[in-house]
Structure 1
């Protein structure tokens, strides 16, 4: 009747900071920071674009992005960015990478 052990298949990949950093250098990648504007202003990964997942127009902003890019998505801890990846996958995006542990686990430079 109930299968408590089944898990929903993820439509994105959780990756650690090293591979995330390497992918940043590839063409056709877009870095999305889904934290609030205040968090974003406090320090971000170089080249990141801020689209606050808590914003009422988040989905409309996402819908306007090209689907043929690889999206590197992060937040503070990896939870909101995972949610953002799920939303994006449901909208037809296929190349989604979530930064495991978020920016808290980012050992590289922030700006």
Structure 2
């Protein structure tokens, strides 16, 4: 029992750190390589967030909208995509949904700040 009391907090901390890390995007170099290689940049935030500022050239497909599945069905599943949101969490959900739908090359760009740090400034 004493061992469990000692190990449980450590296990929970490890899971929390791992989970938070998973919400973040790929490294900036991978994002830049994908975009320079012709990947389509997809902003998965709401239209209101997109209007307030987005990566130049990004298309807006709101991952929380009921039309998300239909919107990605219109895309080429063999093409390369970089998805991003505000923090990387919705981008991770979009990446997972796209991969489940058969997309083979989807990269989580993280949040808008991560995209800016990778050299892709926001525009409105």
Tell me the TM-score range normalised by the shorter chain.
0.7 to 0.9
Note if contact 2:112-2:122 (Cα within 8 Å) is conserved in structure 1: no
Larger Rg: 2
**Matches of 2:62 and 2:84 in 1, distance apart?**
11
Give the 5 Å matches for 1:54-73. 54-73=64-83
Structure 2 stretches lacking a partner, 5+ long: 1-13, 15-24
TM-score if structure 2 supplies the norm length? Answer: 0.72
Count of equivalent residues: 100
TM-score (norm 1): 0.80
If each structure's helix is expressed as a fraction of its own residues, which one has the higher value? 2
The 1-side partners of 2:30 and 2:41 are apart by: 13
Identify the match of residue 112 of structure 2 among 90, 100, 103. 103
Where does structure 1 lack aligned partners over 5 or more consecutive residues?
6-13
1:75 aligns with 2:85: yes
Moved >4 Å (runs of 4+): none
Other-structure match for 1:23: 34
